[in-house]
Amino acid sequence: MKIICVGRNYAEHAKELGNAVPESPVIFIKPDTALLKDNNPFYHPDFSDDIHYECELIFRVAREGKYVQEKFASTYIDGIGIGIDFTARDLQTEAKQKGLPWTLSKCFNYSAPVSAIQPLDAYPDLQNIHFTCKINDELRQTGYSGDMIHTIPTLIAYISRFITLKKGDYIFTGTPAGVGKVKIGDKIEGFLEGKQLLNFLVK
């Protein structure tokens, strides 16, 4: 199982970090050791003073796919949920400045909390899905899949040209604006169409 992530997929978020809006999707991968499930707490690591939450719409891959055509892309996913792409922003900024990979800043243990996966059938219009993130009961991120720079079918087609999709993989589709630092004691909640799916603590 792997976690395939998309960076800079919302223009407002690219802008808030001072990044250009990319022509092609920005793709990176987290290992299976990054997964954090069942609303278990996230233990703040000691190697960063600037861990950011990035709330994202996530999809579960239903079957193996290579060179998937966009028109069939939705048949390669069967579940939807909310995930947090935790990022050690200080390490990432340093890596970017040096032209080095983002790996450690994105792929550390438990850097990918995921909600319970919901059947995709209930969300037939992939371009019309709303999600939100609250930190300590305060609304911090509001996402709408219609605002994505690269649509979900485009992402599936693009990724599968390079990396074979396998059943059970997760796809993180990028974060909208409003990312920020977490601290010990914070409560993080993620909602899909108003339904709370994520609710966990930073310890």
Phi, psi of 140 (to 5 degrees): -115, -35
Residue in the shown chain whose Cβ atom is closest to Mg ion: 85
CB of residue 89 to Mg ion, shortest distance in Å: 11
CA distance 81 to 5: 14
DSSP state, 159?
A: H
Binders in 53-82 for Mg ion, by CB under 5 A? 54
CA distance 160 to 166: 10
Take residue 184 and report the two structure tokens written for it: 């010990």
| Strand ranges (E), 31-119 | 35-36, 51-53, 55-61, 77-84, 87-88, 112-113, 118-119
Q: Does 189 bind Mg ion (CB under 5 A)?
A: no
> Which part of the chain contacts Mg ion (CB under 5 A), choosing from 33-41, 96-104, 170-178, 189-197?
170-178
CB of residue 137 to Mg ion, shortest distance in Å: 23
Residue with tokens 């914070």: 186
Take residue 129 and report the two structure tokens written for it: 């899905």
**The only residue of 39, 105, 115, 175 in contact with Mg ion, by rule CB under 5 A:** 175
Q: Does 92 bind Mg ion (CB under 5 A)?
A: no
Binding mask 122-161 for Mg ion (x = CB under 5 A): ----------------------------------------
Nearer to Mg ion, 28 or 123 (CB): 28
- Could you tell me which residues are beta bridge partners of residue 187? 201
- Output the CA torsion sign for 25, 51, 136, 195: positive
Q: Does 30 bind Mg ion (CB under 5 A)?
A: no
Q: Does 85 bind Mg ion (CB under 5 A)?
A: yes
Q: Does 111 bind Mg ion (CB under 5 A)?
A: no
How many residues touch Mg ion under the rule CB under 5 A: the total is 3
Residues that bind Mg ion (CB under 5 A): 54, 85, 175
